[in-house]
Amino acid sequence: MYGWMIYPKETINNKFGNNAFEWMKESALKNGISIDIVFSDELIILNNNNKTEFIYNGKNLKLPDFVIMRDYNYTISMQLETIGVRVINSTL
């Protein structure tokens, strides 16, 4: 199983310092789940010929089985939901 955790980039510079991203990824992996941390500020959505692509850091991302949305970016949430990706903290 493969998922994304989507955060705003400002999360990196929070007042607590440690965001526990690596801990979350390691914990998920122990349970057979691969997680990528994706920053919404760097995510590009392309809609071409009825195909939706997600570009991150210049690379085409593999669509996840699920997304944990930790951002208030409704555009990203709605686009993922529209193509059938399960979004936790959804806009619906």
pLDDT tens-digit series, residues 8-30: 988 776 666 666 788 889 999 99
> Would you tell me which CATH number, out of the four given (1.10.40.50, 3.40.50.2000, 3.30.420.80, 3.40.50.20), belongs to the domain 2-88?
3.40.50.20
Query: Using one digit for the tens of pLDDT, what is the confidence trace for 47-85?
Result: 988 889 999 999 999 999 999 999 999 999 999 999 999
pTM: 0.86
Spatial neighbors of 55 by CB under 8 A, at least 6 apart, are 43, 44, 45, 46, 61
